[in-house]
Amino acid sequence: MSTVSSPAAAASRTADERVPVLLGTSAFGQNERAFPVYDAYWEGGGRAFDTAWQYGHAYGPGCCERTFGAWAKSRGVEKDVWVLAKGAHTPECLPDRIVPQLNESFERMGRDDAALYMLHRDNSAVPVGEFVTVLADLVERGVIGAYGMSNWPLIRMQDAVSYARTNGLVPPTGVSNQFSLIDMVRPIYPGTVSANDPQWRAWLADSGMCLYPWASQGRGAHALADPDELRTGPLAECWYSRTNTERLRRAALLAEHKGVSSTGIALAWTLSQPLQVVPLIGPRQPEEVRDSLTAVTYRLTEAEREWLENGKGTMPQD
């Protein structure tokens, strides 16, 4: 198996703009569950997948990466997939763990490249320059196409860009934090960070940094039969607020008006932001994949986005 010194065959490729979403692989550590979902995404034109060394770790280290690799090999599409890989998760969020974990991810997936690689968490005890130096070197050597950070606070992300530019290194090109129509009230997992606030939005718009938001459709909240279930159901701890409940209601109304699903409206809201954004989606069934792929063709007006988020005025009736 190749090590991280191997050339990255996918370095020059980008995610297919016709299907501007990445399919998450974190829920699939078994072939029988994963393959129908991946097939539906591929048949719908999707080519970009979100992977991570940590996915499925509690059930069997590496199971999700191995399952994804097995699917790609069985379908003969190893060289056609666009892969976002992540690693160096807490408690191993350290510069000297990046290369070993990336090697292990490549071994599990049966490949020797990743179009984009991200640190899965931040470690504020480590100067940003130490992370950037390792990651920029991987790009320079052709091991990965580009790099970024996931679940990083804004100041650390800004420092990483500044350090790279000051020292003549390849800068990060993406960040993967939580971002959706409904706000993450409390972190879903330890160390997870949202980019859904005015400071983040302004910086993303000004910098041109690409946002790869996870839980971009509210982690299933828009599929609730009644928005009031958000207060008492399993999503309550991380997602319940009166503001979020009202956003669910408005999304359902606009969805009915447009003849689409509420979950589709949530994805359209994310895709319609005045930012460079490529959402991560997490459907569990083929029909959910097809629903999301239908929604990627929708774009909302500024008035619709504002009404969904803030509820000012009446629902746009275009």
**Span 248-275, pLDDT tens digits:** 999 999 999 999 999 999 999 999 999 9
pTM, entire model: 0.93
Would you state the pLDDT for residue 24?
97
CA dihedral 272, 275, 276, 280 (to 10 degrees): -60
Rounded Cα gap, residues 78 and 9, in angstroms = 11
115: left (phi over 0), alpha (psi -120 to 50) or beta: alpha
Sheet holding 82-87, edge to edge: 210-211, 174-176, 147-150, 116-119, 82-87, 48-50, 22-24, 280-281
Residue 5 confidence (pLDDT) above 80: no
Give the distance, in angstroms, between the CA of residue 143 and the centroid of all CA atoms in the same chain: 21
Would you state the pLDDT for residue 317?
81
Would you state the pLDDT for residue 12?
34
Would you state the pLDDT for residue 16?
52
Contact 105, 76 (CB under 8 A): no
Contact 281, 84 (CB under 8 A): no
pLDDT in tens, 6-55: 223 333 344 555 689 999 999 999 999 999 999 999 999 999 999 999 99
Q: What burial class does residue 112 get, using C-beta atoms within 10 Å of its C-beta: 0-12 exposed, 13-18 middle, 19+ buried?
A: buried
> Which of 301, 172, 189 minimizes the C-alpha distance to 237?
189
Contact 132, 165 (CB under 8 A): no
Set out the domains of the chain in order of their start, with CATH numbers: 22-218+267-310 (3.20.20.100)
pLDDT in tens, 131-160: 999 999 999 999 999 999 999 999 999 999
